[in-house]
Amino acid sequence: MQHHDPSLILRGTPISPGLAQGLTHVLRDLLGPIDTPVDIEHSQVEQELVRLDCATASISDDLVVLATRVKKEIDSRLSEVFGSHRLMLNDPSLQQELRREVADNLVSAGSAVKAVFLRWERRFLALESQIAREKGEDMRDISIRLHNALAGVTVHPLDQIPPGCVLVASRLLPTDSVFLAHCAIAGVLLEHGSSGSHAALFVRQLGLPCISGIPDLMGRVPDATLALLDADAGTVTVRPKRTQQIAFHRLTEEKARAYRVARENARRPAVTRDGVTVSVVANVGSSSDTQLAIVNGAEGVGLYRMEQAYLGRMTPPTTTELVDEMTQVLAAAKGLPVCVRLLDVGADKPLPFLAFFAESNPALGRRGIRLLREYPELLRTQLRAVMALSRDFDVRILVPMVALPEDMAAVTEVLRQLWPEPQTAVPKIGAMIETPAAALSARAIAEHADFLSFGTNDLTQYTFAADRDNAAVERYFNDSAAVIFRLLRLVHDDVPQMPLSVCGELAGRPEHVAKLLACGIRTFSVAAPLVPIVKAAIRQCSCCPDRAL
Ligand code: PEP
Ligand code: MG
């Protein structure tokens, strides 16, 4: 007699709303291939040495290309690092040690790389000087490159996911998100990842239903099994019974109908009960986001996240590449206000070509405007691209991670230098309020800004000192806590004339719309799929401050 496993209902935190069903695709190696030492025969030594030489040559070539691009587009200091990586890789004593490891110990080239680089890394790390220690980090960087080249890792694991499946993974990294954009999956289940993580907002942006924080997900969900995902309720049914499938199908149809009604009204302006017109714009990272946003009634783009143009690349884009990318992504919003945020990398959004920036505490290190101030060529490239874009678009600029008034002054200064013709209006510039310091010095920052936009995801992270990507401190990460609204309200009281918007995830939650209006927020920038329901919520509220807070 054949036994069927019973159906299984798992619960987690809803990260991105919606219903989906599909066969599971369990991704176990998302954090990189696991490598075990591989023994070889004597007869294979020659072949392994050839593989080692080929991988070394190809990495060496890549490093030359990287160094040239980085020198031209970022900073010559940075390009030197790639040059020194190349020298280290081709160091005769290193190469000799690698060859000996293969020939004497009879292990594969990959295993030799792991063993030898680890030894070298330890040698450097054991030394006292800071420079030697940095070399240890460099060795790790090179070994990862070489190891991947030997393993033939040229495609990302997410590149090979079958369409229509439910992705099951331990966690998603921001760079994984870039690849996710290209696969047609139905939904995502994650073991770890808070609702404020970048991966979370990316899946929301894509309108991909997603549930996170499911305990022991990887151990409990088998591959290629039917799963019904209710990301509104935060439940997933694995191996559903026939009756569960019928009920799920009915629920999917009902929800689709309700959403259709909200969408029919979405093109109308969002006017509060007391007659205040509130602007609802969209957060976008791709052209399909912008298209969906406009269809859904968005009145412009409140946050264009430039990171997508940088992540998943080995070299930074040129001005022309950036302009092309932005023109394509923002095309559907031509004629409407579009707000371009300058590059916000660092912390949990590392760039491959800046991977050597090992900081012990990256969330408190060089991210956002801090990195741009340190590498002004990156900033200039982006401002030049904005300049070119402003010929065809109604552009505004948004500066990420502002903590000091000088952060804004640094950008306005470069903008002035680049904008020589006084007859053309310089785009309006806004500061993102994402740190308590920025909120508390709103008056000084406002002197350099035309508007302020609250990035409540980071504002929450920095207010509670709780990493937005760390599931272990999820309960501290509360973006709708009273302290967050207090900071918002304080800014409004300090600069009552300043246009205020929210572009963090808080803006997309209908239950908090009334409180945000009471804090003086008059622009809501939300993920494209959420525009209709946020507009509907605004129409139910009034702007009277004291009643809502
Ligand atoms: C935020 O921090 O709220 C924000 C909008 O920026 P990001 O999520 O891209 O850091
Ligand atoms: Mg932010």
pLDDT in tens, 511-541: 899 999 999 999 999 988 889 989 999 999 9
* Position in ligand 1 atom list of the atom nearest CA 453: 5
* Position in ligand 1 atom list of the atom nearest CA 506: 3
pLDDT computed for residue 194 by the predictor = 67
Counting other chains too, the contacts that 94-100 makes at CB distance below 8 Å and 24 or more residues apart are 94/120, 95/56, 98/52, 99/49, 99/52
CATH architecture of 42-151: Orthogonal Bundle (1.10)
Q: In the structure, what pLDDT confidence band is assigned to residue 387 with cuts at 50, 70 and 90?
A: very high
504 lines ligand 1 (CB under 6 A): yes
| Average confidence (pLDDT) over 257-262 | 80
Q: Distance, CA 459 to ligand 2 centroid (Å)?
A: 8
316 lines ligand 1 (CB under 6 A): no
Q: Distance, CA 195 to ligand 2 centroid (Å)?
A: 13
pLDDT higher for 421 or 115? Answer: 115
CA-closest residue to ligand 1 atom 3: 455
Q: Distance, CA 146 to ligand 2 centroid (Å)?
A: 33
Question: Is residue 121 over pLDDT 80?
Answer: no
| Average confidence (pLDDT) over 487-496 | 98
Question: Is residue 290 over pLDDT 80?
Answer: yes
Diameter of the chain measured on Cα atoms: 84
pLDDT tens figures, 74-96 = 445 556 667 777 888 888 888 99
Q: How far is C-alpha 257 from the chain's CA centre?
A: 31
Q: In the structure, what pLDDT confidence band is assigned to residue 31 with cuts at 50, 70 and 90?
A: very low
Question: Is residue 469 over pLDDT 90?
Answer: no
121 lines ligand 1 (CB under 6 A): no
Which option is the CATH number for 8-30+158-257: 3.50.30.10, 3.40.50.12280, 3.30.360.10, 3.30.1330.10?
3.50.30.10
Question: Is residue 365 over pLDDT 80?
Answer: yes
Q: In the structure, what pLDDT confidence band is assigned to residue 239 with cuts at 50, 70 and 90?
A: very high
Q: How far is C-alpha 266 from the chain's CA centre?
A: 27
CA-closest residue to ligand 1 atom 1: 455
CA dihedral sign, ordered 409, 414, 420, 421 = negative
Q: What are phi and psi of 143, to 5 degrees?
A: -65, -35
469 lines ligand 1 (CB under 6 A): no
Interatomic CA distance for residues 337 and 450, integer angstroms: 14
| Average confidence (pLDDT) over 325-345 | 95
Q: Distance, CA 456 to ligand 1 centroid (Å)?
A: 7
| CA proximity to 47, closest of 150, 154, 152 | 150
Q: In the structure, what pLDDT confidence band is assigned to residue 32 with cuts at 50, 70 and 90?
A: very low
Question: Is residue 352 over pLDDT 70?
Answer: no
pLDDT tens figures, 154-205 = 554 566 788 899 999 887 754 455 456 667 899 999 987 766 665 676 677 6
| Average confidence (pLDDT) over 407-435 | 89
Ligand number, closest to the Cα atom of 306: 1
Ligand number, closest to the Cα atom of 503: 1
Q: Distance, CA 516 to ligand 2 centroid (Å)?
A: 18
434 lines ligand 1 (CB under 6 A): yes
Interatomic CA distance for residues 312 and 183, integer angstroms: 15
Interatomic CA distance for residues 430 and 339, integer angstroms: 9
Average pLDDT, the chain: 85
Q: SS3 for 212-266, per residue?
A: ECCCCHHHHCCCCCEEEEECCCCEEEECCCHHHHHHHHHHHHHHHHHHHHHHHCC
pLDDT computed for residue 1 by the predictor = 45
Q: pLDDT exceeding 70 applies to what percent of the chain? A: 83
Domain ranges of the chain: 8-30+158-257, 42-151, 265-548
| Average confidence (pLDDT) over 375-385 | 94
pLDDT computed for residue 37 by the predictor = 65
Residue with structure tokens 């993974």?
A: 169
pLDDT tens figures, 326-335 = 999 999 999 9
CA-closest residue to ligand 1 atom 6: 455
pLDDT computed for residue 33 by the predictor = 44
Determine the 3-state secondary structure of 183 from DSSP: coil
Q: Distance, CA 448 to ligand 2 centroid (Å)?
A: 19
| Average confidence (pLDDT) over 292-296 | 92
| Average confidence (pLDDT) over 6-25 | 89
- Ion ligand 2 residues within 5 Å by Cβ: 434, 455, 458
Q: In what order do the strands lie in the sheet with 19-27?
A: 8-11, 235-238, 226-230, 19-27, 166-169, 187-190, 210-212, 13-16
**CA of 534: how far to CAs of 17, 195, 277, 305, in Å?**
14, 18, 13, 21
198, 305, 343, 457, best to mutate for ligand 1 pocket (most atoms within 8 Å of CB): 457
pLDDT computed for residue 34 by the predictor = 41
Q: Distance, CA 457 to ligand 2 centroid (Å)?
A: 6
CA-closest residue to ligand 1 atom 8: 457
pLDDT higher for 133 or 289? Answer: 289
484 lines ligand 1 (CB under 6 A): no
Highest mean pLDDT of the ranges 118-127, 364-373, 427-436: 427-436
| Average confidence (pLDDT) over 358-378 | 86
pLDDT computed for residue 173 by the predictor = 58
pLDDT computed for residue 2 by the predictor = 46
CB 269 within 8 A of CB 536: no
Residues 6+ apart with CB under 8 A from 213: 12, 13, 190, 191, 192, 193, 194, 471, 474
301 lines ligand 1 (CB under 6 A): no
CATH architecture of 265-548: Alpha-Beta Barrel (3.20)
Question: Is residue 471 over pLDDT 80?
Answer: no
Ligand number, closest to the Cα atom of 479: 1
Question: Is residue 366 over pLDDT 60?
Answer: yes
Q: Distance, CA 476 to ligand 2 centroid (Å)?
A: 17
Question: Is residue 148 over pLDDT 60?
Answer: yes
